Amino acid sequence: MPAITVSDISALPRIPGPDRTVLAERPVVSVTTAPSGLEGEGFPVRRAFAGVSLRDLDPFVHMDQMGEVQYAPGEAKGTPWHPHRGFETVTYMIDGIFEHADSNGGGGVITNGDTQWMTAGSGILHIEAPPEHLVVSGGLFHGIQLWVNLPSANKWNPPRYQGIEGREAVLLASADGGALVRLIAGEVAGHTGPGATFTPITMIHATVGAGAELALPWRPDFNALVYVLAGRGTAGPLAAPVHTGQLVVFGAGDLLTLAASQQDSRTPELEVLIIGGRPIREPVAHYGPFVMNTEAELRQAVEDYRAGRLGVIPATHLPHGACGGTRPARD
């Protein structure tokens, strides 16, 4: 169960029911199933965007569902120090805990509904890892990491860090009262989430009860993507079936619709991440942790990283016995 929830959804502000004579419902363009893999030091992920055209994803580049996994003692893993340039990383912890630090002085603990929004911009080094007590005890770990591209005009901005606590998310109810909407960034039905972004986007985590429908007014200049974190349901005007680990790409329109099917005992509700943004429509050159506009900019990013120009690991995070504090993390 997601950490951020409410005991009485009926007490929340409701998203008005749509006027379908005015709003055009977005059709489903594609449904793809995310393959599983390992990231960092070996934690399990689903590659949510695998097989989907960057044109359909724009302004997003990459997304992993981390877990859901119940770690035994000694199993929890994270990522080593690594670089980024040219985009923003958004880490949303649905359940569990991660510690983050970066070469710009940002970071802290991300836990139970918190979101970390890191603008890599011109370049940064960072690390994400479970705290020692979670490694020792084991525990639940479930989250999302999303990469949001930056326009060329902002790729060289200074790095920036935002820590958004779970309690800051705007909580809303669907028109029928059957869905809990957590608005993390952007705007829906006159409500605005706490996340501040260079690239205009909307990011929502919704829990939809069996038999309930979620109908969201959606900016027509944004794309629209829904990733199923858990459960089963349908999407769009033709009720395309969707289930855990699938990504739905919607077509043009200004109304996005989902409905939850009858669930099993392990997954009592449909859990979805809903994202959309204004496409940047610029060339994308992507290599590992760098997202730029040209191959030449990618080569420069690699050279800058190897030369130590993307940041310095803080001395407090260097291995015992290391000296100087100026060497970059290994690529």
pLDDT digits (tens, 9 = 90+) for 61-102: 999 998 888 888 888 777 889 999 999 999 999 988 888 888
Q: 90 - beta bridge partners?
A: 117, 146
pLDDT per residue as tens digits for the range 221-231: 999 999 999 99
DSSP string, 287-315: ETTEEESSHHHHHHHHHHHHTTTT----G
Taking CA 145 as the corner, what is the angle to CA 95 and CA 284, rounded to the nearest 5 degrees? 170
Q: For residue 114, what is the DSSP state?
A: -
Asked if the model's pLDDT at residue 40 lies above 80, the reply is no
Task: Please tell me the predicted confidence (pLDDT) of residue 59.
Answer: 98
Task: Please tell me the predicted confidence (pLDDT) of residue 327.
Answer: 40
Does the model's pTM come out above 0.95?
Answer: no
pLDDT per residue as tens digits for the range 122-181: 999 999 888 888 888 888 889 999 999 999 999 999 999 898 999 999 999 999 999 999
